[in-house]
Structure formats: structure tokens, C-alpha cells
A and B are shown apart, each in its own frame.
Chain A
Amino acid sequence: MIAQRAGTTALRRVVTAGKPNAFFNTNIAKLGLASSSLSSTTQQTRPVATQHLTPSEAQSILAKQRLQRPVSPHLDIYDKQQTWFGGSAWQRITGASFSGALYVFATAYLVAPLAGWHLESASLAAAMAGLPVAAKGGLKFLLAWPFVFHATNGVRHLLFDIGVGFKRRTIVQTGWYLWGASIVGGLYLAFFL
């Protein structure tokens, strides 16, 4: 006990001879390591060097690195059935064209009295009646096909939303049925109604 204490005080004296240190115990350990690492073979080497960066420097490196990232692949690499004939994409295309046409027509209808146009139902019907049969049918099909497609595919999407028919195989199958049905339905509305 006494011998131990004498040893510690001697050590403390040696260490604090240079300058007083509050962290006595930890420094003892460090001193031991430092003296042994000079000669021993257990010294660690770290080939990776770190460098201090300010936040703005780090951000500029990240920004530069992000420019090197590959851009999303072009649509061409995906499955044709999904990208070109997918019901979802055509739902948006048909809906946007129909609504776009409605917006254009309605705005024109509001402006018509000021511009001197005639867009009342009677004039529209008269204009339609004046067209040749082929043009009449073609124009009707152009309106009827997106209408049938959007309506039937809309029901399909509402069913998807409640979890019906949402298997991959079923989606692909009903997608093809939908194309057939909408074309047949459009032709029926255009030429037989």
C-alpha cells in the first residue's frame, strides 16, 4: 500500500515537473503508449488521409459530383406494352384532350357574342349536317373513341383503387381488352347511333 502510493507520487512528480495537468490518469496511459510506439512494431499506419472542409466546400464537391450521375434512361428501354399502350398513360391523354377541348369550346362560347361567332347548338348541328358522310363519321369517331376509352378505363382504374383486378397478369389482359372494346365502342357510337 505504502510502496504503491510512493510510486504514484513519484510518477506524478515526474509528469507534473514540466507543467501541471488536470488529466493525470489519462496522460499516464498516453505517455506509456507514446514511449513504446516509437520503437515497437505495433504502430498503426493509416493510408487514408482526411481533410478538413468547410460546409460550402463540401457542398460544391457534392454539387459537382451530382452532375456526374447518369440521367434517367430514355423511355425506349422499357416494355412497349407499358409505355406505349398502357391504359394509365392513355387515360391521361384522352382525358386531357377532352377537357382541353371543353375548355377551348366553353371559352370560345363565352367570347362568341363579342367576336360575332355562332357556336349555339343549332348552328353546330347545322354545321355538322353540312359535312359529307365520311367526314361526319370520322369526326364522330375522333370524339367517340376517347370518350369510350376514358369512361371504361376510368371504371377499371376505380376498380384498381378498391383493389380489384390489380394482379400484373390481369392488368395486362384487361388493358388489351380495353383497346378492343374502346375501338369497337367508338365505331358503334360514330356510325350506328
Chain B
Amino acid sequence: MASIARSALLRQVATAGPVPRQVIASSSRALPVATFHTSARRNLLPPLPQKVEGTVNDPAPVPEPSPSHGSYHWTFDRLVAASLIPLTVTPFAAGSLNPTLDALLCATILIHSHTGFQSIIIDYVPTWRMPRVRKLFNWGLKAATAVVGLALYEFETTDVGLVETVKRVWTA
């Protein structure tokens, strides 16, 4: 019984012909697009001319997993940040740092700054949007860090050290 009823229904649908166009148009017009926009449209970053990589049906590419650029890097970042805590607290407690610890503090701050700037570049200079600028910034940061490392070495070996300098300037 059911199969007979179903075939009759199918036949009815099949013979009904296409749905009149006007019905579709009026029902979609009843859903105003404006209701989805609750704030004024602002073209903060208008989209660039679009380029499709691969074919239309390809999924978004997944980057190769690399622990040295992923979890190891993340853990290393946290270790550096955590090791800065005792190096920062000690001068307040002891009044000063010995030259070795002062040099260690400078080196750790330098690494912490470098990885911090690195994440800023990764976040705000996306490779897919400006690959050349990204490369320029990355190499610029490496050069700057090398220069600052040299400068900190000079400062630590010819002057009184970072903590002592801050102390003298602060109490001046």
C-alpha cells in the first residue's frame, strides 16, 4: 500500500513541472538582507583581487606539522619567560646582580624580545598577503637582534651593567 501511495506521489511531483519563478522571488525578498547587518559597513581592509590556489574543490592547505616551529618553540618561549621571573625579582630582593647574572638577564631579555617581535610579525604580516614584506621584516629583525646583541655585549663589558645602570638612573 505504502509503495503504491509513494509512487503516486512521486508521479504527481514529477508531472507538476517547475515551480513558478515568482513564488521563489517573493519568498526570498521577504527576508531582508539588512537584518543581518547590525552596524554600519566599514571597509577597514577591503579584499584584494582574489586568487584561488589549486582547483575550486581543493580543501584549504594544511601546513606541514613541525614540532620545532610548533610545540617545542612554544615551550621554549614559556621557559624563557618563566626564567625571567627570578632574574627580575632578584635585583629587587638583593639590591643588585653580579656580572654573570646581569649578562644572563640581558641575554634572556634579548631572546624574549626577539621571539616576541617574531610573533608580532607572524600575526600582522601574513605570508599569503605580503610574502616579500614578511621576508624583509624577518631578516630585518634578525639583523636588529644581532646588532642589539653586540651592543649589549659592549654595554656589559665596558659599562656598569643593566641593573646597576637602571638603579643609578632611578635614584639620580
Contact = CB atoms under 8 A, between A and B. Distances in A.
B49 A43 contact: no
A109 B113 contact: no
A125 B168 CA distance: 6
B82 A158 contact: yes
Interface in B76-130: 78, 81-82, 84-85, 88, 109, 112-113, 116-117, 120
A42 B113 CA distance: 74
Interface in A48-67: 55, 58-59, 62-64, 66-67
B148 interface: yes
Given A107-B147, A158-B82, A128 B169 contact: yes
B28 interface: no
A77 B170 contact: no
Contacts of B49: 63, 67
A106 B155 contact: yes
- Most A CB atoms within 10 A — which of B15, B47, B49, B151? B151
Interface stretch (A13-21, A26-34, A95-103, A165-173): A95-103
A71 B39 CA distance: 12
A71 B45 contact: yes
A47 B56 CA distance: 25
Nearest to B51: A63
A106 B50 contact: no
B56 A62 contact: yes
B172 interface: yes
Which range contains the number of A residues in contact with the other chain?
35 or more
Contacts of B10: 42
A74 B112 CA distance: 31
Interface stretch (B59-67, B131-139, B158-166): B158-166
Nearest to B7: A42
Interface residues of B, number: 49
Contacts of A63: 49-52
Contacts of A72: 44-45
A62 B84 CA distance: 50
Interface string B3-46: 00000001100110111000000000000000000110011111
A46 to B, nearest CB: 9
Given A62-B56, A106-B152, A106-B155, A71 B15 contact: no
A157 B147 CA distance: 30
Nearest to A128: B172
A110 interface: yes
Contacts of B165: 121, 124-125
Contacts of A43: 14-15
30 contacts: A42-B11, A45-B18, A55-B56, A59-B52, A63-B49, A63-B51, A63-B52, A66-B47, A66-B52, A67-B47, A67-B49, A67-B50, A71-B43, A72-B44, A72-B45, A73-B39, A92-B116, A95-B113, A95-B116, A96-B117, A103-B144, A106-B151, A107-B151, A110-B147, A124-B165, A128-B169, A151-B85, A154-B85, A158-B81, A193-B170
Interface of B: 10-11, 14-15, 17-19, 38-39, 42-47, 49-52, 55-56, 78, 81-82, 84-85, 88, 109, 112-113, 116-117, 120, 144, 147-148, 150-152, 154-155, 159-160, 164-165, 168-170, 172
The 8 lowest CB-CB distance pairs between A and B, nearest first, are A99-B113, A106-B151, A47-B18, A63-B50, A110-B151, A121-B165, A129-B172, A128-B172
